[in-house]
Amino acid sequence: MRALAPVTRLVPRVSRAPCVSSVQSVRTLGALRSLTTAVHRTRLPLSAMTVDAKRYASQRPNVTKENALGLDDPSLVVPHGIVNGKHVDASDGGRFDVRDPATGNVIGSMPDMTAQDAAEAVRVAHETFKTWRNSSILDRQKMLLRLNDLFIEHANDIARLIVWENGKSWADAYGEVLYSASFCAWFAGECVRQRGDVLASAIPGQRNLVIKQPIGVCSLLVPWNFPAGMITRKAAPVIATGCTAVVKADPNTPFTNQAIMELMRRAGVPDGVINSITTDKNLQEVGKELTTNPLIKKVSFTGSTRVGKILAAQAAGTLKKLSLELGGNAPLIVFDDADIPTAVAGTIASKFRGSGQTCVCANRIYVHESIYDTFAKQLAEKVNKFKVGPGFDDGVTHGPLINAAAADKWQSHVDALVKAGGRVIAGGKREGNAVQPTVIVDVPTECILDEEETFSPLAALIKFRDEAHVVEMANRADVGLAGYFFSRDADRIFRVAEALEVGMVGANTGAISQAFIPFGGVKQSGYGKEGGYEGTDEFLNKKLVAIGKNL
């Protein structure tokens, strides 16, 4: 086996501006305006991209003593909670540090807000809802369109914050910003697409109307792996429907969240409509407040199945409406009739996006025995060309994992698979939080990945012989968010797509998430949808109005 390239050093070189050699395919601003999303098509030929290379090249932050994060607009750094449009701190004065995953260095601190602080934010949202619910849909639409524009105007700064906090490569971070903006554009359109119904009546002279009304105050619990994308996917429909919300930022990535809150203010979103609190050590108490407070009518959470079950149990006491997007453990199947280059590209897009830290990443990769060696070789050749390091560094395609615990989990899974007979043919090395994208072959059909989601750039290839058996293996997980497969057989495409027990299927593609599709899973991956018109309905109540005639 040839020598593996070492992981690049993890201290950013702030003296020169890098140019990322592998850039995601993104849409132009005009396409965003037409409600198209930024879709990752990593490492496709440049001719397949619509990229302004100059604009989308990495923009290294110009760090100074006065501007510690090197933003073009330093006012986007908001080291406070935001309640009723005001910057607030924790009532007990507590704060917590936020660290750069690439170096472990502290990049700033945020207030460690308490359950009492969360309750005050809920009260403000409740009072604001009384008038905001009756606001003009055209005004809400203008706000969301303006927010879309502000994302584009400040794309470099939001991407910088994502790199600082999350550790993504520049290409991944910038792509997330455009993805985030697309939800603003989509739900701006949803402002004027909300509709009810008129139903027949069994009673002569009576009319049955079905109207939709905003559900009320919502809790939005956002994750660290898409700190910009998940806030707009949840908050944009809140604004569009006339609801109000309290956002709980993830303690790993609060600066991105608060910068977006500032953009909302600039877009004209009134004070108290979207409030945001930050917390770390008080996470459980704050989470309980945001799921049990009777003023809250809806909870939207993206995270692990374990935590989702806890939140659902807490919310059950007041029967709140829930949207839960939970664990994935996605299967990916490469059939014998697949186009191998397409399957390799799709596997890379699904498995290695965001260094494997996405809920829809392929976790179990099944490859037909007749093409197993060819597929593995071509995949390893691509993966060995990746460069791992700080997201601002030259040519980096994959950043570090979010923290040491994530890297430890990657290591434990690599060790377990090798112990079970697997063989590393690409990657496999670690330095700090940075791990090389890894390909392991000769993985047994029953392994640790059946039960555990690796959430890291680890591609374990498992052989299979027939369709029925591989579908059975794919479905044996207790979760079902996404699934992927590659085939050129039209009958098989429909057959397998219908057979997979998941909420979303990618057939001959590794990219499935867009602003205008219903995103969500089945089984223990949760329930409820985000995005699409279904994502709007999640924040609306249907009400029957039966109108009789006077006697």
The catalytic residues are 325
What is the distance, to the nearest Å, from the Cα of residue 464 to the centroid of all Cα atoms in its chain? 31
Tokens of 371: 């093409």
* Strand 244-248, strand 274-277: pairing: parallel
The total of other beta-carbon atoms located within 10 Å of residue 426's CB is 24
Distance (Å, rounded) from C-alpha 494 to C-alpha 480?
A: 18
In three-state secondary structure terms, 115 is helix
User: In this structure, which long-range contacts are made by residues 410-413, counting pairs with CB atoms below 8 Å and at least 24 apart in sequence?
Assistant: 410/435, 410/438, 410/454, 410/456, 410/457, 410/458, 411/435, 413/448, 413/449, 413/452, 413/454, 413/456, 413/458
Q: With contact defined as beta carbons under 8 Å apart, do 337 and 305 qualify?
A: no
* Local structure of 107: helix, strand or coil: strand
| CB distance 20 to 170 below 8 Å | yes
In 303-361, beta strands by DSSP E: 321-325, 330-334
Question: How far is Cα of residue 272 from the mean position of the Cα atoms in its chain?
Answer: 25
Contact by Cβ (8 Å): 305, 327: yes
Question: How many Cα atoms occupy the beta-carbon half-sphere of 24 within 13 Å?
Answer: 29
The dihedrals phi and psi of 515, each to the nearest 5 degrees, come to -65, -30
Q: Is 446 helix (H, G, I), strand (E, B) or coil?
A: coil
Run of H or E residues at 424: strand 423-426
Contact 508, 528 (CB under 8 A): no
CB distance 42 to 22 below 8 Å: yes
Tokens 């990219």 correspond to 511
In sequence order, which residues have a C-beta less than 8 Å from that of residue 250 and are 6 or more positions away? 222, 223, 224, 227, 257
The neighbour count for residue 3, using CB atoms within 10 Å, is 5
How long, in residues, is the chain? 551
